[in-house]
Amino acid sequence: MFTAPEQFADVNKSTIDAALKFAKVSFDAAERLVGLQLAVGRDALSEGAKNASLFAEVRDVQDMAALRGKVAETSTDKWTNYSKAMYEVAQQTQAQWSNLFEAQVTEMNKSVAVALDKVAKTAPAGTDVAIAAIKSSITAASAAFDSMTKAAKQVATMTDANVKAAATATNAAVKSAKK
């Protein structure tokens, strides 16, 4: 027998659990980002004070140019590392969200299939064609979702490679400009 109230309760519980998982991932990412920003702020303050002292001790133009190049290289390295760390947090969070979303879609598809099977057992004669059409639509939607997920993962992989290449190129450009 088809018991809708129990299934609705199960769906509601599942939806609340999923929302809590998404919220936890979001809060964890926010916590990591705030921690990263505080560390960078603390480091920037310390580095700025140190650099101010070094610049105050400069006696000629050549020392000033050398110090300026060293400070620029150090700053670029630190900001590149900060950008990488921010990107990694965003990438990890996106991957966790994607995994949660995929799990939700998979679970929803299973629930719909089970519900359709229960309906088919109690449905009047002749509805089997409609139920088969719905199941076929769900299968096609799942295949499309899988294709989009694979494409999104490929884009993420390419983006990751491009970000790493850009960071490497920036560091190399700063080091060659210093020379």
Closest CA to 166 of 92, 70, 174: 174
Instruction: Give φ, ψ of 150 to 5 degrees.
Output: -65, -40
Q: How much is the pLDDT for 177?
A: 66
- Please say whether the beta carbons of 124 and 55 come within 8 A: no
Q: In terms of C-beta distances under 8 Å and separation of at least 24 residues, what long-range contacts does 7-11 make, across chains too? A: 7/111, 7/115, 10/111, 11/111
Please report the sign of the dihedral spanned by the C-alpha atoms of residue 140, residue 143, residue 149, residue 154: negative
pLDDT in tens, 37-58: 999 999 999 999 999 999 999 9
What pLDDT, on a 0 to 100 scale, did the predictor assign at position 2?
47
Instruction: Give me the chain's average pLDDT, please.
Output: 84
CA distance 81 to 31: 18
Is pTM, for the whole model, over 0.85? no
Around Cβ 41, how many Cβ atoms within 10 Å? 10
d(CA 94, CA 28): 12
pLDDT at 8: 67
